[in-house]
């Protein structure tokens, strides 16, 4: 049981003797404040803060942190006030106690919305002083160690919270020992049977395994000695929960687990790490793909080491971690140890000097912009993950390298599809911007925008990738349907079967019988198969004709007659989808002339009617009728066709006005079909309506120009 003597022993190992007085004073203050209080286990309450202080001392924390650990529950649970602590122990310790008390109030098992806020507060607390979170972690670790004294429902809640929040937090801060112990304790509480199973597996042939590791370590020691490298070689402790996870996730047996067998090699200098790797590989065959160089590329939580797995004696794979003593200290204590080691080495400053952290805090801290601040504190302690906030403050986690597009697709597929830009912390950023911890991301959208293919080059999440690919697949399919439909209708027009016949469900049913290998559930599917070349429209029509006795299908006599008559005339003057000899009719509503931009409308059983593309009738077609529009073009090889056009000429009435107009038409050798004049009641104006035959728009333009040149003509227009 933790008492002051054991705490003192730990502190003496690394703190100046002069600090012990303060620690003793903190212990005494906590002791008398908690006097009369007991833990659920029945032991006096002081055991808890003392144990927390011991954990902190094992982590080699500074004196204020140890003192705050001793006092961490006094403000919450005893008569002691913040002010009294400040007076007795100064500002620094008081701030730490205050920070831990505040953190203690958060409930991490709360609903998701609250969880985001709690995370934010946690990060902020960490940003203000990392020591607050380290104390909190030590507090939690001791509570986990004594979990069995609590009622089962509370055990479950605390264990889950530990697994989901505190262990990952310790992991992200690189505090492996804390993390592993917390995980094993939570594992035991949450999955007692599985825990028992793994424990038995590990202990079943422990002697044999330890013996093997011992022999292997001896061999490595020997070959390194021979190579003249001074080193320490040790076996590596195993953690139940990580074994369980590996077995569970990889579906492998216990014997296949690579790193169940592991050793560590410690050396003095960085170059020696690589020398060791070389020497080991020259004696034992490395397993390819299992060499990891975290020295050249340290993990973001500062972890450095060389990892390799080799085939050891008896053909068993064994993992070897190679690192310097300095790297090991960081690996063991994470961010908590890092600056201490630096402080000792570089300036010889007093141990546990937090100048490094304070410098960052003082320099950047601006309470109004916590997001900026978080970023500055290099919260990419967070391995391979970033967290960002939505405009509503919801927290979202992403793999490192994610972009605003990943963010958009995570919220909703449609938001991803319509994303045109993004803001990070209120500023416009490019779409390939890499999300940073604490960013507040806002997606800018446009209804008419669509995903871009090059997004695939930089999005990081598989979710975004899949959605983008799906979208393009769908678009391709839409384009195929359109192309197949055109191909089909062209052949139908040529065949003389009315479109309404082949557009009926009966047709689809007949095709299903003719082509049992396709489901042909819809026309869209049929069109797509046509576009891909899996179905031939001509064959479809032939099959349909064979399958039906319907005479109208066999042959539309009127249509065929028209086609034939057109054939003898060479051309109707217009091609439909590139085909001559399709029966066309020029729409009366807009009387198109060669040279006009035109479009065809497939009528039901009466060929194609040709309109000017700016015709009001075309513009106002309903969407389903618009589907029946086809491409038509003036046939360059058409004969000398004449087209009927109607003109309205307006001007001031005078003697000879009409004659002048008619003289122009005669001079151009045009045939007048109809003429009509209307005198207006007021202003002496006259309107002349002319209907005449003309070969094309060029001729028409010339004619209209000439008429405009006649004196007293005010306007000439096509009607
Ligand atoms: Mn506590």
Of 297-301, 372-376, 476-480, the poorest mean pLDDT is in 372-376
Going from N- to C-terminal start, the domains of the chain cover 4-175, 201-333, 554-638, 643-718
Answer with the residue of higher pLDDT: 493 or 570. Answer: 493
Cα–Cα dist 358/13, whole Å: 25
The rounded Å distance from CA 51 to ligand 1 centre is: 10
Of 296-310, 361-375, 415-429, 630-644, the poorest mean pLDDT is in 361-375
Confidence band for 29, pLDDT divided at 50, 70 and 90: very high
Query: By C-alpha distance, which of 470, 418, 462, 478 is closest to 444?
Result: 418
Three-state secondary-structure class, residue 677:
strand
Q: Give the DSSP letter of residue 163.
A: I
Confidence band for 334, pLDDT divided at 50, 70 and 90: low
Cα–Cα dist 326/338, whole Å: 9
Percent of the chain with pLDDT over 90: 20
Does the structure show a pLDDT above 50 at 283?
A: yes
pLDDT for 379 equals 38
User: Per-residue DSSP letters for 115-146?
Assistant: HHHHHHHHHHHHHH-HHHHHHHHHHHHHHHHT
The rounded Å distance from CA 652 to ligand 1 centre is: 104
Answer with the residue of higher pLDDT: 422 or 360. Answer: 422
Confidence band for 190, pLDDT divided at 50, 70 and 90: very high
pLDDT for 350 equals 30
pLDDT for 300 equals 52
The rounded Å distance from CA 84 to ligand 1 centre is: 19
pLDDT for 105 equals 59
The rounded Å distance from CA 143 to ligand 1 centre is: 7
Contact 439, 384 (CB under 8 A): no
- What is the CA angle 200-205-206, rounded to 5? 85
Confidence band for 256, pLDDT divided at 50, 70 and 90: low
Does the structure show a pLDDT above 90 at 5?
A: yes
Contact 195, 188 (CB under 8 A): yes
The rounded Å distance from CA 29 to ligand 1 centre is: 16
The rounded Å distance from CA 382 to ligand 1 centre is: 26
pLDDT for 251 equals 67
- What is the CA angle 73-184-144, rounded to 5? 20
Answer with the residue of higher pLDDT: 106 or 342. Answer: 106
CATH class of the domain defined by 4-175: mainly alpha
Task: Identify any residues that bridge with 646 across adjacent strands, giving them in sequence order.
Answer: 691
pLDDT for 104 equals 65
Does the structure show a pLDDT above 90 at 383?
A: no
pLDDT for 354 equals 32
Does the structure show a pLDDT above 90 at 168?
A: no
Instruction: Give the up-direction half-sphere exposure of residue 365: CA atoms within 13 A in the CB hemisphere.
Output: 12
In order of 392, 453, 529, 535, the CA distances from 473 in angstroms are 33, 11, 15, 21
- The DSSP H or E segment spanning 278 is helix 270-283
Alpha helices (H) along 20-165: 20-33, 47-58, 63-71, 74-77, 82-89, 91-104, 112-128, 130-145, 152-161
From 77, 109, 506, 712, active-site residue: 77
In order of 224, 266, 278, 683, the CA distances from 227 in angstroms are 5, 15, 10, 118
Residue carrying the six token digits 């109208």: 552
User: Per-residue DSSP letters for 555-590?
Assistant: --HHHHHHHHHHHHTS--SEEETTBSS--EEE-TTT
Does the structure show a pLDDT above 80 at 395?
A: no
Does the structure show a pLDDT above 70 at 35?
A: yes
- Active-site residue, 181 included: no
pLDDT for 492 equals 80
pLDDT for 54 equals 95
Cα–Cα dist 493/196, whole Å: 77
The rounded Å distance from CA 122 to ligand 1 centre is: 17
Cα–Cα dist 177/158, whole Å: 19
Single pTM value for the model: 0.47
pLDDT for 47 equals 95
Q: How far is CA 381 from the centre of its chain?
A: 21
Q: Give the DSSP letter of residue 635.
A: -
User: What's the whole-number mean pLDDT along residues 652-657?
Assistant: 85
Answer with the residue of higher pLDDT: 475 or 345. Answer: 475
pLDDT for 612 equals 87
Q: Kindly report, residue by residue over 536-573, the tens digit of the pLDDT.
A: 888 888 888 777 755 444 444 444 444 444 443 445 67
pLDDT for 11 equals 92
The rounded Å distance from CA 91 to ligand 1 centre is: 21
pLDDT for 40 equals 85
Does the structure show a pLDDT above 90 at 20?
A: yes
The rounded Å distance from CA 362 to ligand 1 centre is: 29
Give pairs for 450-456: CB < 8 Å, separation 24+. 450/417, 450/418, 450/475, 451/416, 451/417, 455/405, 455/431
Q: How far apart are the first and last CA of the chain?
A: 105
Does the structure show a pLDDT above 60 at 229?
A: yes
User: What's the whole-number mean pLDDT along residues 106-118?
Assistant: 50
Does the structure show a pLDDT above 60 at 396?
A: yes
Confidence band for 107, pLDDT divided at 50, 70 and 90: low
Residues 6+ apart with CB under 8 A from 280: 220, 223, 265, 308, 310, 320, 322
pLDDT for 378 equals 33
User: What's the whole-number mean pLDDT along residues 288-313?
Assistant: 77
The rounded Å distance from CA 139 to ligand 1 centre is: 5
Greatest extent of the chain over all pairs of C-alpha atoms, in Å: 130
CATH of domain 643-718: 3.30.70.260
Question: In the numeric block, which tokens belong to residue 310?
Answer: 């080799």
Q: In the predicted model, what is the mean pLDDT of the chain?
A: 79
Could you tell me whether strands 395-399 and 632-634 are parallel, antiparallel, or unpaired per DSSP bridges?
A: unpaired
The rounded Å distance from CA 83 to ligand 1 centre is: 20
Q: Kindly report, residue by residue over 115-140, the tens digit of the pLDDT.
A: 445 555 565 666 567 788 889 999 99
Confidence band for 90, pLDDT divided at 50, 70 and 90: very high
- Sheet containing 685-694: give its strands across: 671-679, 685-694, 643-652, 713-718
- Active-site residue, 232 included: no
The rounded Å distance from CA 534 to ligand 1 centre is: 73
Contact 690, 708 (CB under 8 A): no
pLDDT for 560 equals 42
Cα–Cα dist 623/495, whole Å: 26
Task: Identify any residues that bridge with 387 across adjacent strands, giving them in sequence order.
Answer: 397
pLDDT for 339 equals 42
Does the structure show a pLDDT above 70 at 359?
A: no
Answer with the residue of higher pLDDT: 131 or 32. Answer: 32
Answer with the residue of higher pLDDT: 236 or 277. Answer: 277
Contact 301, 335 (CB under 8 A): yes
Question: In the numeric block, which tokens belong to residue 554?
Answer: 């066999």
The rounded Å distance from CA 38 to ligand 1 centre is: 12
The rounded Å distance from CA 72 to ligand 1 centre is: 6
The rounded Å distance from CA 101 to ligand 1 centre is: 9
CATH number among 3.30.460.10, 3.30.160.20, 3.40.190.10, 3.20.20.80, domain 201-333? 3.30.460.10
Does the structure show a pLDDT above 80 at 263?
A: yes
Cα–Cα dist 139/184, whole Å: 16
From 3, 28, 35, 76, active-site residue: 76
């Amino acid at each position: 049981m933790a008492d002051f003597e054991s705490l003192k022993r730990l502190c003496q190992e690394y703190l100046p003797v002069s600090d012990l007085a303060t620690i003793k004073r903190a212990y005494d203050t906590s002791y008398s404040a908690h006097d009369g209080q007991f833990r659920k286990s029945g032991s006096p309450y002081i055991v808890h803060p003392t144990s927390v202080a011991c954990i902190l001392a094992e982590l080699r924390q500074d004196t204020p942190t140890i003192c705050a650990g001793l006092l961490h529950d006094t403000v919450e649970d005893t008569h002691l006030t913040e002010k009294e602590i400040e007076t007795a122990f100064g500002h620094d310790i008081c701030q730490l106690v205050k920070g831990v008390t505040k953190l203690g109030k958060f409930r991490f098992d709360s609903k998701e919305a609250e969880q985001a806020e709690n995370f934010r507060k946690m990060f902020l607390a960490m940003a203000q002083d990392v020591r607050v979170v380290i104390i909190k972690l030590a507090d939690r670790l001791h509570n986990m160690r004594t979990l069995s004294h609590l009622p089962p429902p509370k055990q479950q809640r605390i264990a889950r919270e530990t697994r989901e929040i505190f262990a990952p937090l310790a992991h992200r801060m690189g505090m492996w020992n804390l993390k592993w112990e917390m995980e094993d304790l939570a594992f035991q509480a949450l999955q007692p049977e599985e825990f028992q199973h793994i424990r038995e597996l590990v202990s079943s042939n422990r002697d044999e395994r330890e013996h093997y590791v011992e022999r292997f370590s001896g061999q490595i020691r020997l070959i390194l000695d021979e190579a003249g490298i001074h080193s320490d070689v040790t076996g590596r402790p195993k953690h139940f929960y990580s074994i369980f996870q590996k077995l569970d996730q990889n579906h492998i047996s216990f014997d296949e687990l690579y790193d169940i067998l592991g050793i560590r090699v410690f050396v003095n200098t960085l170059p020696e790490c690589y020398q060791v790797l070389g020497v080991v590989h020259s004696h034992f065959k490395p397993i390819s793909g299992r060499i990891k160089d975290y020295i050249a590329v340290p993990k973001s939580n500062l972890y450095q080491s060389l990892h390799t797995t080799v085939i050891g004696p008896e053909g068993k794979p064994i993992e070897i971690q190679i690192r310097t003593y300095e790297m090991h200290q960081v690996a063991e204590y994470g961010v908590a140890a890092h600056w201490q080691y630096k402080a000792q080495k570089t300036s010889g400053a007093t141990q546990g000097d937090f100048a490094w952290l304070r410098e960052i805090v003082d320099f950047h801290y601006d309470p109004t912009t916590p997001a900026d601040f978080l970023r500055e504190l290099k919260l990419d302690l967070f391995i391979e993950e970033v967290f960002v906030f939505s405009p509503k403050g919801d927290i979202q986690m992403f793999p490192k390298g994610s972009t605003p597009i990943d963010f958009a697709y995570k919220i909703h597929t449609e938001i991803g599809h319509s994303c045109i830009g993004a803001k990070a912390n209120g500023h416009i950023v490019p779409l390939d911007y890499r999300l940073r911890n604490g960013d507040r991301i806002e997606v800018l959208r446009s209804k008419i925008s669509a995903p871009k293919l090059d997004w695939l080059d930089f999005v990081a999440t598989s979710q975004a990738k899949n959605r983008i690919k799906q979208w393009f697949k769908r678009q391709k399919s839409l384009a195929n349907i359109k192309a197949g439909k055109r191909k089909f209708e062209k052949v139908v027009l040529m065949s003389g079967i009315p479109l309404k016949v082949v557009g009926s469900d009966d047709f689809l049913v007949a095709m299903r019988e003719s082509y049992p290998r396709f489901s042909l559930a819809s026309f869209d599917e049929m069109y797509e198969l046509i576009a891909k070349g899996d179905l031939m429209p001509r064959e479809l029509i032939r099959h349909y004709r064979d399958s039906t006795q319907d005479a109208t299908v066999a042959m539309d006599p009127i249509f065929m007659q028209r086609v034939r008559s057109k054939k003898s005339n060479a051309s109707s003057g217009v091609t439909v989808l590139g085909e001559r000899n399709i029966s066309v009719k020029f729409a009366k509503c807009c009387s198109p002339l060669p040279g006009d931009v035109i479009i065809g409308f497939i009528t039901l059983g009466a060929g194609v009617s040709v309109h000017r593309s700016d015709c009001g009738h075309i513009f106002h077609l309903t969407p389903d009728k618009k589907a029946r529009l086809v491409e038509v073009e003036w046939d360059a090889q058409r004969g000398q066709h004449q087209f009927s056009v109607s003109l309205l000429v307006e001007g001031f009435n005078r003697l000879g006005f009409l004659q002048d107009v008619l003289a122009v038409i005669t001079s151009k050798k045009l045939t007048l079909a109809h003429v009509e004049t209307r005198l207006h009641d007021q202003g002496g104006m006259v309107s002349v309506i002319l209907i005449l035959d003309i070969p094309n728009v060029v001729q028409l333009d010339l004619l209209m120009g000439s008429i405009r040149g006649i004196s007293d003509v005010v306007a000439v227009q096509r009607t």
